Structure 1
Amino acid sequence: MQIHKLITDSKSLAELCERLSRAEFVCVDTEFMRENTYWPELCLIQIADTEEAAAIDPLAPGIDLSPLLDLLVDNEDVLKVFHAGGQDVEIIYNLTGRTPHPIFDTQIAMMAVSQSEQIGYSNLVESWLGLTIDKGARFTDWSRRPLDARQIDYAIGDVTHLSKIFPKILKRLIKTGRGEWLDAEMEKLADPENYRNDPDQAWQRIRAAGRNPAMLGRLKAIARWREIEAQDKNIPRGRIARDETLADIASHPPRQQSDLAKVRGLSPAWKDNEIGRRLMAAIEGSSPLTDAELPPRTPRGAPLGKEGALVADLLKLLLKIRAREIDVAARLLARSDDLELLAAGIRKNIPLLEGWRYQTFGRDAVDLVEGKLAFAVVNGKLKMTHVDDVEEEAAAALAEGEVEADEATE
């Protein structure tokens, strides 16, 4: 494989992207810094196909990233391969307003061919290639220049290894027939809505007790205020105010700005400074949520009662057994919330009761709830047994015993 250590000029980048545009797939990774900023600062991009690999310096003076971004978001003929690519996709979305497509994530794919829930990149490389990654450059400040050879080699290795692993995972998926299991998961990863920072929706990420319309209206208003402050200043939203502070203010709103000095998590200076005034304006300008805006009333997360909780526990046990039997990550088959809904008697709008999940696990889950499935210990291992099958086997055994008894009598 040809390795281009570091591309820092537009001409070389355009030529690379022209060659990669004819590949079946490209592996992509990014290095970024976001500890002190709202928007992640892109510091390095690594890309590879089966023939060549390169690191690209987006901080190089005058470099034009357009050919690379066009390859990632416009070229539908080239599959873009990531590992745990959510943050990489977010960066591309921030640059273009679009997401890479078509897309493949090897961390997600591993859930369909093993019991790994969130396998790390180092473990992935060791598992598939038998190599141990030198993690010495992992905590590099990627915004500093110049980058030394060790740092660049470490970064490029993320895509050169992935370009060898991806075909192996794809071959395993084809062999097991589980490729279609991942279609919805990959489309979800590429959904632009996952990366759109809409201040009006920021409140939904904050945990707040209850469904009081006035309280949630205040939470929506001050979460929007915080998001705009953080974006304008390009600092992490937690530097403005923490989630729990916003939830407390929404539940117990200060009557006047001087009361902000008493709020845990805020500086006393807020009682008479400009940011405190803007916060108070957000609180005073809030309005209760409408019925349409209120979170839906569902059993999700609600107490199940003792019997319901026992049923949910049995479903979780069934899930572990099935995941072990077919060597797949349990989380890909079903989430705990879905099992609790099923235990609560809900049968609609639950992913495990649709498509391949129903065929693989959901049907048995329903049978367990309805008393048609039982657990048995066979050769020291816990297994599922359909009650009808047990009754048929018992009847067959009884009939065979009666025939043998009649023959012995004769």
Structure 2
Amino acid sequence: MSNKKALVVGINIYKTSKNNLPSCVNDSNKFSDLLKDSYGFTDICKIQNREATFAKIDQQLEWLFKNAEPNAQLVFYYSGHGYRTPKDGLLKECLVTSDEKFFFDDKFSTLTQRLPPGILSIILDCCHSGGMEKAFFSGKSGEERPMVKAWVPPDEELENSSKPETDRTLPYQKFGQSITERNFVSTNADASSSLKSLISQPKSKQVNGLLMSACKANEKAIASTVYTNGLSVFTFGLIRSISSLGTKISNNTLLDHTTQQVQKQLKKSKLGQTQTPLLIEPDRPKGLGNLSFITFEPAEKSASFTDKPAEKSPVFTDKPAEKSGVFTDEPAEKSIVSTEASDRAMLEELSQAISGSAKMLSMLADISAMSNRD
């Protein structure tokens, strides 16, 4: 049995056509290729579009977590719509399956508790601030209008969807995380009392795995733009960063560079939009952010983060990483060529200067000899 298993989900086509997305199937294909080509995964279950129902995802998660051993590497990747809605006295985040059912993290988190710690990576390219908001950014005529990856309910259900006042009065639970007072802002005493009752009860378990998500809870994840090669902005940034930096970088470094890439693409598209990828570490083991992505092996220090803006950083070039020479102890090939050419030019100039000096000395000697004869 393989110790590297992945469940990869990409949903473009939803039950309600206005929720269809352009880039999630491409995301799932490219991420599967990354797992195979860069991380050596062979046991990958990829489900897309109408196949990615609630029942199918639930079934395949059981497969993913079954008989996991301490040396396993497990990955759950999802690209599609997210949402948040009231449930059990909480405002909870969820994933939206192709049959438009809400996949909450209750069972998901419970299943992960039986896993050995430090073997599961979860990557979510979606957002949860949906409801009344439009499914795309409106722009001037001729400007790009990229899709937002937050599910919009059917018209007849909009009145029952999450309202701003609900957002402020219910404890908020992010996908894969436990309920804490830090997630909750209340403006009335009844809601505060409700929270105290909830947190006095056994808390929902935080997912037993490292979670990387596309944006903050109050932000929107953007689908593909004309600059992201048919991929959603977050997945594009993630894959581009790994391709440039290699697979031995830490999760924290990868997050920093992915964020740079995301902001770079949004700036190109002139959307005026902020999208901030997040990295959530589990309670145990500590320090997974400092280990390498997916493998959780020690990260290479040579691939450290640069404080330079992404636009100027040599890391994010369109040239393959093997040729860029950015993260090696030796200068890049082009730098060597440039240095040798510069040295040759300096030697030629120095030789010409010496030759000129010799001629000048010879002329001065001739003048001196003529003066002595006179």
The normalised TM-score by structure 2 is 0.26
Give the structure with the larger helix fraction.
Answer: 1
Select the structure with the greater relative contact order (CA < 8 A; seq sep ≥ 6).
Answer: 2
* TM-score (structure 1 length as normaliser): 0.24
